[in-house]
Amino acid sequence: MPASTIADIRTITCSPGRNFVTLKIVCEDGTYGVGDATLNGRELAVASYLADHVAPCLIGRDAHRIEDIWQYLYRGAYWRRGPVTMSAIAAVDMALWDIKAKRAGMPLYQLLGGAAREGCMVYGHANGETIDDTIEAARDYAAQGYRAIRLQAGVPGLAKTYGVSSDRYFYEPADADLPSEAAWATHKYLPSVAPLFAAARDALGWDVHLLHDVHHRLTPIEAARLGKDLEPFRPFWIEDPVPAENQQGFRLIRQHTTTPIAVGEVFNSIWDAKQLIEEQLIDYIRATVVHAGGITHLRRIAALADLYRIRTGCHGATDLSPVSMAAALHFGLSIPNFGVQEYMRHTEATDAVFPHAYRFADGMMHPGDAPGLGVDIDEALAETHPYRRAYLPVNRLEDGSMHDW
Ligand code: GCO
Ligand code: MG
């Protein structure tokens, strides 16, 4: 049997501060690769999909045949797309690229075409209950060398706001055993954002990129209003201004504002972004390696986006494990149209379970030069952090109607 034959597949679910699902594919000769399969709040569905429905089909196949295995899992399932399926395929894909690069004795970015830049610019999260708190956090990021900073502040009159945490560097939205409930009022939120950006430009100047996440909460015309309000402060982007099921909705935003638009952290295939890209309705595509079918599929999305001068800005919150972060950096370093990478650092417990080669310096991250993805999982340590049920919050308007969280 060839040395690269898949001999064993394990799904490891652990919670070193938050839940992660990790796939480990082991070849006949002991070479192995790891993949991230974490789907926040729905982790066990992907773990079961992999263990019960994918693993039996892969034993005995050649780990080198990445494209064939991708097509086999995508077309072969008959039921296409969806976050559970695409996260499972992504985990397999990451693990196979890890194996291929390890066997080649190269860091993965070399197989993807080599470094197209010196590093991947990342943005950090400056959060605070008040504008002053957020500006203080932003100054801290700027002092650490960040060139891009996301700004989120509490909204006066709302008890709890998306993106505002008690901890300075970690934001863990999946905060409860059953979904916690938050309240939302667009008329309170909308006027609160421009003053935040005005204060940030006063404090930080114009040589730093400023970003903001709307988290799918507005209608297209409300998003257009926000975009216009922020134009004087030249944001790098506003993110997820509206839910993107209706891709045409972005036409309306575009008609009104030149503020750049980023979208796609919940996308799971190229089809979610096709119209947005082809009609040039967005500026940054945020699909990630874990939720959008792995490196193989994300390269396809990036290649389509590149035709229209749309750049990447991949999701990188703490629910994307260090395995995804490593994969995102190899991908980002190698493609022509990299824009920025989100980076919310993990807890020490998470970093201990997933030893990794990637590093931060001067506002940029580099995947490192270890063969493969350059990230591993300490399975014995992972076992000491068992899975704990954790849900994302839900959001209601002040009259009790369900809204987008
Ligand atoms: C971001 C995201 C996250 C998500 C979280 C959901 O831009 O980082 O919006 O905060 O809410 O990753 O699992
Ligand atoms: Mg977001």
Q: What is the DSSP string of 121-164?
A: EEEEEEEESSHHHHHHHHHHHHHTT-SEEEEEEPPTT-S--TT-
Q: What angle do CA 364, 367, 372 make, to 5 degrees?
A: 170
**Nearest-angstrom CA–CA distance, 203 and 258:** 24
Closest Cα to residue 243, out of 214, 270, 269? Answer: 214
From residue 204, how far is each of 148, 201, 342, 344 by CA, in Å?
A: 11, 5, 20, 20
- What is the CA(160)–ligand 1 centre distance, in A? 16
Query: Mutate which of 167, 267, 315 to test ligand 1's pocket (most atoms within 8 Å of Cβ)?
Result: 315
Which atom of ligand 1 is the closest one to the Cα of 150? Answer: 7
**pLDDT reported for residue 112:** 98
The token pair that represents 301 in the structure block: 């999305």
Interatomic CA distance for residues 260 and 232, integer angstroms: 13
**Ligand nearest to the CA of residue 240, numbered in listed order:** 2
Give the pLDDT of the chain (405 residues) as one tens digit per residue.
Answer: 899 999 999 999 999 999 999 999 999 999 999 999 999 999 999 999 999 999 999 999 999 999 999 999 999 999 999 999 999 999 999 999 999 999 999 999 999 999 999 999 999 999 999 999 999 999 999 999 999 999 999 999 998 888 887 677 777 889 899 999 999 999 999 999 999 999 999 999 999 999 999 999 999 999 999 999 999 999 999 999 999 999 999 999 999 999 999 999 999 999 999 999 999 999 999 999 999 999 999 999 999 999 999 999 999 999 999 999 999 999 999 999 999 999 999 999 999 999 999 999 999 999 999 999 999 999 999 999 999 999 999 999 999 999 999
Mutate to test the pocket of ligand 1, among 18, 127, 265 (most ligand atoms within 8 A of CB): 265
As assigned by CATH, the class of the 6-107 domain is alpha beta
Amino acid at 34: V
Based on the residue annotation, tell me whether 215 is a catalytic residue of this protein. Answer: yes
Closest ligand 1 atom to Cα of 125: 8
Q: Cα(269)–Cα(382) distance, rounded to whole angstroms?
A: 30
Q: Which amino acid is at 87?
A: S
The residue from 125, 209, 212, 215 that is catalytic is 215
Ligand approaching nearest to the C-alpha of 18: 1
| DSSP symbol at 375 | B
Q: Provide the pLDDT for residue 212.
A: 98
CA of 6 to the centre of ligand 2 (A): 36
Chain-centre distance for alpha carbon 331: 13
Q: How many A from CA of 22 to the centre of ligand 2?
A: 22
In the set 49, 141, 162, 358, the catalytic residue is: 162
Q: How far is the CA of 166 from the centre of ligand 1 (A)?
A: 16
Question: Are the beta carbons of 37 and 290 closer than 8 angstroms?
Answer: yes
- Which strands sit side by side in the sheet containing 181-184, from one edge to the other? 181-184, 394-397, 402-403
Q: Is the dihedral of CA 36, 41, 46, 51 positive or negative?
A: positive
**Interior angle at CA 95, CA 108 and CA 102, nearest 5:** 45
Ligand 1 near 317 CB (within 6 A): yes
Those residues whose C-beta lies under 8 Å from the C-beta of residue 213, and which sit 6 or more positions away, are: 150, 152, 162, 163, 238, 239, 240
pLDDT for 165 equals: 76
Which residue minimizes the CA distance to atom 6 of ligand 1?
A: 40
- Residues within 5 Å of ion ligand 2 by Cβ? 213
Structure tokens of 133?
């708190």
How far is C-alpha 403 from the geometric centre of its chain's CA atoms? 22
pLDDT at position 172, please? 85
Alpha helix stretches (DSSP H) within 49-130: 55-58, 66-76, 83-104, 108-111
Report which bound ligand comes closest to the CA of 173. 1
Compute the distance between CA of residue 36 and CA of residue 12 in angstroms, rounded to an integer. 10
Q: How far is the CA of 24 from the centre of ligand 2 (A)?
A: 28
pLDDT of residue 156: 95
Nearest CA to ligand 1 atom 12: 317
Domain boundaries, the chain: 6-107, 111-370
187 noted as active-site residue: no
How far does residue 106's CA lie from ligand 1's centre (Å)? 32
The ligand whose atoms approach the alpha carbon of 320 most closely is 1
Q: Which of 20, 215, 268, 341 to mutate to test the pocket of ligand 1 (most atoms within 8 A of CB)?
A: 215
By the 8 A CB rule, do 353 and 382 touch?
yes
* 213 CB within 6 A, ligand 1: yes
Provide the whole-model pTM.
0.97
The Cα 25–Cα 20 span in angstroms is 16
3-state SS, residue 95:
helix
* Number of other CB atoms surrounding residue 177 within 10 Å: 9
CATH number attached to the domain at 111-370? 3.20.20.120
Rounded distance from Cα 399 to ligand 2 centre (Å): 25
Q: Token digits for 376? A: 């591993």
Residue nearest (by alpha carbon) to ligand 1 atom 1: 317
By C-alpha distance, which of 324, 326, 321, 314 is closest to 370? 326
376 lines ligand 1 (CB under 6 A): no
Q: Which ligand is nearest to the CA of 40?
A: 1
Residue nearest to ligand 1 atom 11, measured at CA: 173
Q: How far is the CA of 165 from the centre of ligand 1 (A)?
A: 13
